[in-house]
Amino acid sequence: MAEIALKPTTRLTNIVVDIADLAVSKDPGALLITYSLGSCIGVSIWDPVAKVAGLLHYMLPESSISPDKAKANPAMFCDTGVPKLFKAVYQLGATKRRLVVKVAGGSQLLDDKGTFNIGKRNYLALRKIFWKNGIMIDGEHIGGSISRTVRMEVTTGTVIIKTRGGEVPL
Amino acid sequence: MIDIQLEQLIQRAESLPKLPDTTVRLIRVINDPASTFQQIVDVIRFDQTVTTELLRLCNSAYFGLSRPIVSIDDAVRYVGTAKLMQLVMAAHTHALLGPEQAGYGLLPGALWSHSVGVALACQVMAGYLKIQDKGLLFTVGLLHDIGKIVLNENVGAEYAGIVRIVNDEKIPFHEAERRMFGITHAEVGELVANRWKLPHPIPCCIRYHHEPAALPTPDPIIDALHLADTACLLLGIGGGDDSHMYRIDEDVLERTGIKTGEIENIGATVVTELKSVQKLFGFE
């Protein structure tokens, strides 16, 4: 499978975002990347003027199940991770109204009947928090029974979703 | 169907990196109800490398102990046998489970992270389900996917065909493996565990981790392993490309009474613990 070249002439530094983790950057030579999104959701935000990018990989919808863990690691939950991601890009000079927002993940098992439907709950939690805050989703790659890797270039905001089947820009 | 000769699989199993002798001995004494605390400690004491490694771990920031640990007896006293055994086994399976398994889309480190994640999830699950045998659960959690290492090459070559069977026939990935090769990664895992002479019921737990309903009578250990594995697969804890092409057994959910909130709690605990274990070993 041929990898889509984001910027063939430059060598980019990978900033890897682990599960329950987030990263922001304004380094033009950086690529934010997160591997193996399952029922988790990857939220990428980018300001085209300030050239600031942020990527969050949260795993669960609500911090109320464990306030202690949310305090130690806000990126674990949607309701604590998303505000933290937005605040972090604002600190680097991004502005809310310019942000391009793309999301991926929320996978589910085969024939899921509800108990294990964390992917769907994760996605609904995200829609809810975005709706409350007047944030539009500009692109999404959600659901199904697949694993996804998200790559995001800081200077161009290009987001690529990689699955076993190939790569698509979002 | 692609016919894989059993001989060929066994040969490949033989060439896997060996589990260190100490680990195999540990697995045997921990899972033998007749063994004493002293026997467990002795397995470690007589292995100089493991002793040195353990003392280093015990004195690391991970445990945050206020006084230096200078002997195995100290380590056992302050850290606890169960925790020590787990760390030894997690460290010793890294050579085996750490490499990339491209056939399953498992990046370097992913299968080890998944295996340690499932082992940790099994421990939490044992608490919920009031299962006493935490040592056995940790062991089977850690080793449940060893069959993937053996079957990796074949799965890589036939991946598109396997996924086609999953989609066309609406069956889980391991059943599609059976259609394609006549054997699943779980059954290959049982084979490997038997070759390594791991004690009963470890090989059996490995074999049924995706299909607890295939057992003549339900088994609490296999139920717990099935739930722990499926939760980690779903959440993408050390995930591969096949991670979501499995089913949760509804009867197991009913038997155990496990609910979404508990699965989420387990996920949060496992990821937190796994991150500190990865940091401890420098396997980030």
A4: confidence class by pLDDT, cuts 50, 70, 90 = low
Q: Is residue B13 part of a domain?
A: no
Cβ atoms within 10 A of the Cβ of B215, count?
13
8 Å CB contact of A116 and B240: no
What is the per-residue pLDDT across B133-185, written as a single tens digit (0 to 9) for each? 888 899 999 999 999 999 999 999 999 999 999 999 999 999 999 999 999 99
pLDDT in tens, A121-134: 999 999 999 999 99
Per CB-CB distance under 8 Å, the chain A contacts of B243 are: 36, 38, 107, 147
Q: Is A36 on the interface with B (CB under 8 A)?
A: yes
Q: Do B247 and A147 touch (CB under 8 A)?
A: no
Are residues B85 and B165 located together in one domain of the fold? Answer: no
Active site residues of A: 40
Grade residue A111 by pLDDT with cuts at 50, 70 and 90: confident
pLDDT for res B130: 92
Interface contact B234-A39, CB threshold 8 A: yes
| ipTM for this prediction | 0.89
List alpha helices for B31-145, DSSP H. Answer: 37-45, 48-58, 72-79, 81-92, 94-97, 110-129, 134-143
pLDDT at position B26 is: 78
B162 within domain boundaries: yes
Q: Which of B244, B251, B259 to mutate to test the interface with A (most CBs of A within 10 A)?
A: B244
In a domain, B106, yes or no: yes
Domains of chain A in start order, with CATH, are 13-169 (3.30.1330.200)
Please say whether the beta carbons of A160 and B254 come within 8 A.
no
Q: Does residue B11 sit within a domain?
A: no
Residue B1: band (very low, low, confident or very high) from pLDDT cuts 50, 70, 90: low
Which residues from B are below 8 Å from A64, CB to CB? none
Q: Is residue B221 part of a domain?
A: yes
Mean pLDDT of B213-222: 95
What was the pLDDT predicted at B67?
80
**Residue B245: what pLDDT?**
95
Last residue of a domain, one of B92, B107, B136: B92
Chain B residues closer than 8 Å to A151 by CB: none
What is the rounded distance in angstroms from the CA atom of residue A157 to the CA atom of residue A31?
10
Last residue of a domain, one of B92, B118, B139: B92
- As a whole number, mean pLDDT of residues B49-68 equals 79
Work out whether strand A148-153 and strand A30-37 pair parallel, antiparallel, or are unpaired: antiparallel
Whether residue B251 sits in one domain with residue B236: yes
Interface touch A59/B271, C-beta < 8 Å: yes
B190 has pLDDT over 50: yes
Same domain, B124 and B245: yes
Model pLDDT, residue A2: 47
CATH code (residue B136): 1.10.3210.10
What is the average pLDDT across B12-20? Answer: 76
| Partner-chain contact B268 A60, CB within 8 Å | yes
Residues in B touching A69 (Cβ below 8 Å): 268-269, 272
What is the average pLDDT value for chain A, to the nearest integer?
92
Is the pLDDT at A9 greater than 70? The verdict is no
Question: What's the rounded mean pLDDT across residues B215-240?
Answer: 94
Q: Are residues B49 and B134 in the same domain?
A: no
User: Confidence band (pLDDT; 50, 70, 90) for B86?
Assistant: confident
- For range B84-113, the mean pLDDT: 89
Is 60 exceeded by the pLDDT of residue A8?
Answer: no
Q: Given B92, B126, B144, which residue is the final one in a domain?
A: B92
Q: Does A64 touch chain B (CB under 8 A)?
A: no
The span from the CA of B268 to the CA of B12, in Å, is 36
Contact, A115 vs B263, CB < 8 A? yes
Average pLDDT, chain B: 87
- Cβ atoms A38, A63 nearer than 8 A: no
The reply to whether residue B236 touches residue A146, judged by beta carbons under 8 angstroms, is: no
Q: Are residues B125 and B87 in the same domain?
A: no
* B284: confidence class by pLDDT, cuts 50, 70, 90: low
CB A156 within 8 A of CB A6: yes
- CA distance to A39, A146, B255, per residue, from A57 (Å): 10, 16, 33
Which residues span the domain enclosing B174?
A: 98-281
Section B9-25 average pLDDT? 77
Domain count of chain B?
Answer: 2
Same domain, B39 and B136: no
The reply to whether B30 and B129 lie within a common domain is no
Q: In this structure, is residue B129 part of a structural domain? A: yes
Interface of B with A (CB under 8 A): 105, 107, 110, 159, 163, 166, 170, 172, 230-231, 233-241, 243-248, 250, 253, 258-261, 263-265, 267-269, 271-272, 275, 284
Dihedral angle of Cα A166, A108, B185, A17, to the nearest 10 degrees: 60
Contact A35 B265 (CB under 8 A): no
